[in-house]
Every structure is written in C-alpha cells, then in structure tokens.
C-alpha cells in the first residue's frame, strides 16, 4: 500500500482556450473538473494502473463534499480529515501550445486542533504502507516544519517517506532525511540557492542534497525528462511527447517511479514514461496502462556537462 498525504487538496478546474488575452473576453473550448493536489494526483495515477493507494486529505465545506464525490470514481482508500474551512479551487488555463497559466488559492487556514487531527490520522493509517508520500503545499496555519516532523516520526517506524513540496517546507523536510524527494527544477534551484542551467549542474545539486541526508533525489525537468541521483549513481531520462497539458505530470512521474520499486534505471524509465503519458492527456488526467510507453524512454548514465536545460 502506498499512502499519500495531501495537506492542501483542491478542486482543479482546467479551462482550454484558443489563446489567453489579458483584459478581454476569452472563450473556453473545454472544461475539466478533477480532484486535485499533488498527493491526490499520485494516488489517482497509482490506482489507474492497478496499484493500491490510500489518500489522506482534509476536506471541508461544499467544495470538500464535491472533492470526495469526485474521488468515488477511483478505487482509492480515502481517509478524510474533518476541516472547518472549504477545499480550495485551483484554475489552470491551457492554450493550444500547452502554455499553462495557473491560479491557485492558498487554502483555508488550519486551527491548532486541525493540525493535530491531521497528524493523528497520518500516524494512524500507515502501518501497512510501503511508502508514504507527503505532497504539495501546506495551507495557512500549518508550520513549514510539519512535513519534517512527519518524516522523523515515520522514519522512526522504519517507513519510507517521499516528499514533493517546495520552499521552506522542502528545506525543513530535507533536514529530516527523507528516503526520497521529487523537486522540479525551479524547486531544486530554490533549495540550493542558485540557477542550474545544465543537466550536470542539476545532478551536482542533487548530490549536495544527498550529502545532507536525503536518500534519493528524483528531479523532474519538464520537457527535459527527469534526473535520478541515488546511492548507485546518476541517470537522466527523457521521452518524446505531444504536450496537451502539463498539469499533474510531475505527480504521474513520481507515481510511476514508486510503482516500479523506486530504485534504479527501471523505476526511472517507468516514471518518465508515466509523466510523458500524462502531458498528452487533458487537464490533470492521470495515464492508464494503455497510455504508457516505457520503450520510448531514453536513459543516459553519462551526463554531458554542457547540455543546457530547456526549462528553468
């Protein structure tokens, strides 16, 4: 069982437009409403490929009811944490060239009691977990050190933890020594405090985080695929894709990596294949087995220091 924790879930509305023009009426050609938040997306990707997943989510208000209703379409073991505030609504505007403009709400503020309830539900629902995924932003009222606290608690029980967040929450989690982190390029640059223009630069930054106690770094690089740095070495992988929407692609990459054992080239290949499949689908739709093509993934063990990244 893979358990995901989404402290700040959302209802994701993806609007497809012919072109976004500020200050003008923009006609929408298609609308997709899906359950959202990084951990929710990871769970959706896993169950879409026959892998059991449990999703722990705070959900309050009418929006929370809608989120739970949408999740009934998936075979996810949902553990709802009562929350007084409503679930946030995130809007993504997608243009034909796959340019995405995102408008994300901060989420409802948590009380001290609600923070304690969330932690209690997490610790009470991970006994059968092979991995626990702590994913996404923290809402107002939850301190940046929350994920780090969870990492320390679960590591003490011998449970492997993967973290996919950003900013202070990521820095605090890194200090706790999680088994895996999955930053994107921008998040990795922020945590090391410098630009990473090449694949080799990205690999060096990942090695620095391993020196701080992180077991494995899986860095998603957008159109440049992903970079894996672990105890056995460094590999870069990428796959061709016709991009329709990039929303949730990094979450699909993490799900594929975990589904394939979260170690080595074979897991990297699956992760990149899942991510490439996700970008070809509308909204934050997660890929199913028929969408995924691991044979199209190219893996390199030798990193060319002069190769510039297209992202970041």
Q: Which residues are catalytic?
A: 251
d(CA 186, CA 81): 31
State phi, psi for 186 to the nearest 5 degrees. Answer: -60, -40
Count Cβ atoms within 10 A of the Cβ of residue 304 and give its class: 0-12 exposed, 13-18 middle, 19 or more buried.
Answer: exposed
Please, are residues 40 and 55 in contact by the beta-carbon 8 Å criterion? yes
Phi, psi of 286 (to 5 degrees): -90, 145
Spatial CB neighbours of 247, under 8 Å, sequence gap ≥ 6: 12, 14, 92, 94, 100, 102, 283, 284
Distance CA 244, CA 222 (A): 13
Q: Pairing state of beta strands 10-17 and 88-94?
A: parallel
Q: How far is CA 206 from CA 24, 193, 201, in A?
A: 43, 13, 9
Contacts of 228 (CB under 8 A, 6+ apart): 216, 217, 218, 219, 234, 235, 236, 237, 264, 265, 267, 268
């Amino acid at each position: 069982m893979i358990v995901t924790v989404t402290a700040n879930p959302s209802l994701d509305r993806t609007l497809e437009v012919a072109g976004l023009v500020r200050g003008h009426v923009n006609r929408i050609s298609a609308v997709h409403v899906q359950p959202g938040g990084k951990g929710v997306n990871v769970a959706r990707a896993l169950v879409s490929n026959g892998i059991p997943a449990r999703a722990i989510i705070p959900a309050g208000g009418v929006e929370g009811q809608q989120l739970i209703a949408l999740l009934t379409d998936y075979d996810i073991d949902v553990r709802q944490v009562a929350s007084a505030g409503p679930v946030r609504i995130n809007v993504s505007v997608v243009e034909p060239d796959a340019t995405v403009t995102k408008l994300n709400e901060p989420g409802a503020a948590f009380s001290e009691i609600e923070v304690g309830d969330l932690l209690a539900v997490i610790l009470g629902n991970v006994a059968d977990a092979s991995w626990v995924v702590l994913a996404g932003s923290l809402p107002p009222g939850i301190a940046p050190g929350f994920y780090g606290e969870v990492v320390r608690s679960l590591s003490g029980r011998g449970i492997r933890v993967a973290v996919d967040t950003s900013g202070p929450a990521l820095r605090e989690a890194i200090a706790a020594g999680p088994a895996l982190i999955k930053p994107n390029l921008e998040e990795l640059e922020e945590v090391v405090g410098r630009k990473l223009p090449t694949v080799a630069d990205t690999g060096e930054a990942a090695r620095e985080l391993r020196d701080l106690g992180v077991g494995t770094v899986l860095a998603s690089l957008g159109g440049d695929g992903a970079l894996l740095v672990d105890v056995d070495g460094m590999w870069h992988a990428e796959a061709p894709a016709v991009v329709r929407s990039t929303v949730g692609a990094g979450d699909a990459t993490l799900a594929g990596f975990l589904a394939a054992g979260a170690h080595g080239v074979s897991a990297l290949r699956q992760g990149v294949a899942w991510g490439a499949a996700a970008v070809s689908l509308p909204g934050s739709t997660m890929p199913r087995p028929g969408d995924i093509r691991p044979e199209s993934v190219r893996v390199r063990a030798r990193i060319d220091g002069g190769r510039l990244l297209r992202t970041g």
